[in-house]
A = this chain, B = another copy of it.
Amino acid sequence: MDLETVKSKLHAMNFRLTQEREWVLRVFMESGEMFTAMQLYDRVKEQYNKVGLTTVYRLFEVLTKLRLVTPFLIDGEIYYTFCSGGHHHHFVCLDCHRVKNIYGCEMDTRDFSEIGKIEYHRMDLFGHCENCQGSVPSC
């Protein structure tokens, strides 16, 4: 998904795409990583300008409403990754926190009717990506 599409989705819910949100979104969407609020704040500061940490928190909140982020709890910390498109699952590198989407869901074929009425599900794989499998963790 590109920034223009996000802009449309923002406008559809009466949110605005400010200069600051654009900076944060660029870093966030292009990274392929997941971030805590503080980590994304730091990264934006490096690549663009300083923005308020509050702005990052508020963007996560807005993107949550637009269902454009997925939160992960890792070691007690909340990480967010940009997520768009149809149903998919995730592989998360425990070293570099890069995220890969996994398509093709086998859950739909199973019957869980006696367990309860399923609203949604998540499937997350954790491990080490190719870049991080060398003797020296590179990323």
Contacts and interface: CB of A to CB of B under 8 A. Distances in A.
A91 B73 contact: no
Given A76-B78, A78-B73, A112-B91, A119 B126 contact: yes
Contacts of A110: 106
Contacts of A3: none
A16 to B, nearest CB: 24
Contacts of A125: 107, 112, 115-116, 118, 120-121
Given A73-B73, A73-B78, A117 B106 contact: no
A1 interface: no
Contact of A116 (B72, B100, B112, B123): B100
Contacts of A122: 122-124, 126
A84 B115 CA distance: 19
A127 interface: yes
